Structure 1
Amino acid sequence: MKYTRLSLQDLKDLEKEFVEFLVLNGIPADDWERLKVKDSDKVEDIIDQFSDVIWESVLRKTEMVEHRRRDKLTICRVAKGELVTLLIRSSDRDLDFTKPEDLAKVLKDIDKHEVSIHNDKIEKPETEQLFELLQVGFYISKDPEYVKLLDERKK
């Protein structure tokens, strides 16, 4: 397995897609019901394969992830074999980056805050790099303000 298995709730939410996955892999409903009773190892393998397909699909569409802590915001974008990391900190201890209203204040007046950017070459597939970031607490972001910040501060 390349990624992690989807949770039971994820599988329930993706039931339609899972049924399509089974059909595409030549497993009709009757065969699936028999497998669930007679071959739990095969069932586990199929669920793992489906999980990888879903993760791969999501990760291929993902360009940017973020991680917020009270005292900092980290934004990462993976593209063309490179990991671009933008770190924003504030000396204002009253600001909390986990609060949307405080984050909006910081982004509106970004020049009053400490901003650093790092470019690192990655040796693994971009999807795997993104997955590793998700595993350590980042989450997918599509915030256009972040894209603008990254583009403005490219090295």
Structure 2
Amino acid sequence: MKYRQLTKEQFENLHEEFARFLASQSIDVIEWKQIKEEKPQVAEEEMNVFSDVVWDDVITKTQYIEHFSETSVNLFKCNDEEIHRIAIKINWDINLLKQEGFEWLMKNPMDNSVDVFKGTKPYRSERNTEVFDLIEKGSAISKGEIFEYFNQLIS
């Protein structure tokens, strides 16, 4: 597997797509039930292939991801060849995971207690693998509004 298998909940949400995936391999509902019962390893392999297809599609379309902790934010813009990062660190007792902490940051981005760093680097390995790794470590896919807001402020 290139990524990881989708969760049970993700499979349930994508059941129609999974059914089409199986149909594209000439596997109908009756045959799928038989495979699951008689050849669980084959069923597992089919689920793994489908998971990789879904993850690859999602990650290829992902342009921005972000990771929040209580006192820091990491914002990423994922281009084809390189990844851009804006790292924000708050140097006083504020919780960015709470609404009021986040609102404070957005209203006071240039406060003396806010350190902002910006960097760009090429991917060390394949783009989608690195983006997936950041997602698995707790980053969330975003629309990029916060990245672009801070990018304009510091450019």
With the length of structure 2 as denominator, give the TM-score of the two structures: 0.90
Superposed, which structure 2 residues align to 1:1-150 within 5 Å?
1-93=1-93, 95-112=94-111, 113-150=114-151
Question: What code does the residue aligned with 1:64 have?
Answer: Y
Distance 1:141 1:5 in 2: 22
User: What percentage of residue pairs aligned between the two structures are identical?
Assistant: 23
User: Which consecutive segments of 4 or more residues in structure 1 shift more than 3 A?
Assistant: 151-154
Aligned residues of 1:72 and 1:87 also touching (Cα < 8 A): yes
Aligned residues: 153
| Cα deviation 1:58-105 (Å, max 9, x = unaligned) | 111211111111111111121031111111112232x21111221122
Aligned residues of 1:63 and 1:77 also touching (Cα < 8 A): yes
Question: What code does the residue aligned with 1:37 have?
Answer: E
Aligned residues of 2:65 and 2:144 also touching (Cα < 8 A): no
With the length of structure 1 as denominator, give the TM-score of the two structures: 0.90
Distance 1:99 1:143 in 2: 19
Q: CA RMSD in A?
A: 1.6
Gaps of 5+ in 2: none
Counterpart of 1:110 in 2: which secondary structure?
coil
